[in-house]
């Protein structure tokens, strides 16, 4: 019989039961992790999040701050370019900060040139 994992228990003398990845072992009962947790330590503490969420103090959250985006490569909330209020990555703005306007294909924000103003 294979050894016990931290998320398994002996169901009867000859069968070891292991909980699914998105469950945790509560005594001898597999219990679903909290919403948005891909893996958890217990019902209140996530150890890995669903895609698009970041792990903050054991909870899975969306990037909340304007000027940040979720970086899929690192699993962190990273800063947008300084001219962006919202973005999809560090250099692709989806909303410019006040006093900034679109340059070209609506991905770069810049202040208007001297003598010009932004149209609203």
CA atoms within 13 A on the CB side of 16: 10
Write down the pTM of the prediction: 0.60
Tokens 């010009």 found at: 116
Looking at per-residue pLDDT, the higher value among 84 and 13 belongs to: 84
The token duo for 65 is 């701050």
Residue from 95, 101, 105, 98 nearest 113 by CA: 101
Residues of the chain with CATH 2.10.220.10: 1-62
C-alpha 59/C-alpha 116 separation (Å) is 47
Q: What is the pLDDT of residues 39-93, one digit of tens each?
A: 999 988 999 998 888 888 999 998 878 889 988 888 889 999 888 888 888 888 8
Domain 1-62 has CATH 2.10.220.10: yes
For the chain, count helices (H), then strands (E): 0, 14
Which of helix, strand or coil describes residue 112?
A: coil
């Amino acid at each position: 019989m294979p050894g016990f994992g931290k998320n398994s228990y002996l169901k009867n003398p000859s069968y070891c039961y292991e909980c699914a990845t998105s469950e945790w072992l509560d005594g001898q009962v597999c219990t679903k992790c909290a919403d948005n947790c891909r893996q958890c330590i217990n019902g209140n503490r996530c150890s890995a999040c669903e895609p698009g969420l970041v792990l903050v103090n054991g909870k899975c959250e969306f990037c909340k701050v304007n000027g940040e985006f979720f970086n899929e490569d690192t699993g962190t909330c990273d800063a947008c370019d300084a001219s962006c209020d919202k973005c999809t990555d560090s250099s692709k703005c989806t909303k410019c900060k006040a006093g900034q306007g679109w340059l070209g294909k609506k991905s770069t924000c810049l202040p208007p040139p001297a003598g010009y103003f932004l149209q609203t």
